[in-house]
Each structure stands twice: as structure tokens, then as C-alpha cells.
Amino acid sequence: MKHFELKGQVRETGNKAVIKALRSQGLVPCNLYGCGIDNVLFTVTAKDLKGLTHNPASYIVDIILDEGKKYTAVVHELQFHPVEDVCLHVDFLAVNEEKPIAIKVPLNITGHAAGVQAGGKFVKNQRELRISALMKNLPDQLDVDITELGIGQNIVAGDLHYDNVTILSPKSTIICGVKATRQSAQNR
């Protein structure tokens, strides 16, 4: 999986006024926890964070703090402003090489469905799936071949299998399918 480098400045805990002042300077308050480390409070610039949050790919985040410490983490939770497209807060979960990581990974649809060639309409229901794997086995994307998909058929998460990867999304989650159209009904 790709890595994303994010530089941050350590911060102290503060009240609402302190947090509001940080946001007015173009900084986003962040929190790093998990994997046996103490909570680390820090800030990153909103501009640097957009490369991570406004991107469909998933990343392992390398956090480099101004005090010289470096952490490896994944995004655990993002909080956005309810009206504006502004990230208000980010929680990062520290990870390591020994423990499996649970992360959402984008889906890549490949092939041309037989049902579409027969007049059906292709429908993609999911853009990503939640998986678990060791850091060295995490894929950048999950490939889903739809070549054999006929009219009225779906691919669900339970149909997919990958080496060294466990799919955490429910097995009944519909990934994609081919729906019948008027044209396909007339061709029958």
C-alpha cells in the first residue's frame, strides 16, 4: 500500500477557544492513539491534509512531528464541517508491521459484463470495502472482474477472495450488478 507523508506540530490540550484559534490559522487539530503509545496531540496544515482526505485512494500515513518523532498510522475518523468542505478534526490510529490493520480499500472494476453486452445496465453499489491484513500485504485496490456477470446477477463481498487479506465488510454487501432494461426485456 502507498504511504503518505504528513508533517505536524505537537500541541497541548486546549479549550474551544484554543482550538478555534488553531483552525483560524489554517491548522487542523489531530489525535494519534493506539498500538501501546500515549495519545499524541498535534496539528497539520489544512492544505497538506487535503492531499489525504480529498483522494479516493487509501494510504498508510507516515506522521513526522516537529520534535523529530515519526509514527506510522491510518486514518481512523474524519470530522468535517456540516456545511463547508473543511476538515475540523482527524483521529489517527497507530499501526505496526506485526498486527493486522483494518482499513477501507477502493474497488477497481475490470472487464466488460456479458449482461451489459446483452442490453442490461451496469450498477456499481460500492466504491470501497473494509479489509484486514498485515501492512506488507495491504493492496492499493481490490480488483473485481465482472466479465461473467449476466443480467439480474450481482457480485457480493462474500464472492470475493484475495490472498492474505480478510474482507471485514458483511458478506451480503452488494458490490455491483447488471439490471434488466426495457431493451434487454425485448431481446428475450
Per-chain mean pLDDT for the chain = 91
Give the integer Cα–Cα distance in Å for 110 and 91. Answer: 33
Residues 76 and 55: beta-carbon distance below 8 Å: no
Written as one letter, the residue type at 111 is G
What per-residue confidence (pLDDT) applies to 186? Answer: 67
Rounded-to-integer distance, Cα 72 and Cα 96, Å: 7
Closest to 81 (Cα-Cα) out of 111, 46, 110, 113: 46
CA dist., res. 48 & res. 98, Å (int): 29
Q: In what helix (H) or strand (E) does residue 129 lie, and over which residues does it extend? A: strand 128-133
pLDDT tens-digit map of 69-112: 999 999 999 999 999 888 999 999 999 989 999 999 999 999 99
The topology (CATH level 3) of 102-187 is: RNA Polymerase Alpha Subunit; Chain A, domain 2 (2.170.120)
Spatial separation of the C-alpha atoms in residues 75 and 63, rounded to whole Å? 11
Is the CB of residue 168 less than 8 Å from the CB of residue 158? no
Query: Which pLDDT score is estimated for 1?
Result: 86
pLDDT at residue 164 is higher than 80 = yes
DSSP conformation class of 83:
S
pLDDT band for position 184 (50/70/90)?
A: low
Note whether 3-96 and 102-187 share their fold: no
Query: Residue 21: in which H helix or E strand, if any?
Result: helix 16-24
Distance from the first to the final alpha carbon of the chain: 45
Class in CATH terms, 3-96 = mainly beta
Q: Is the pTM of this model over 0.75?
A: yes
pLDDT tens-digit readout, 101-156: 999 999 999 999 999 988 899 999 999 999 999 999 999 999 999 999 999 999 99
Which position has the grid cell 486514518? 75
Domain range summary for the chain, segments of one domain joined by +: 3-96, 102-187
pLDDT average, residue stretch 21-29: 91
Strand partners, 29: 43
pLDDT of residue 85: 85
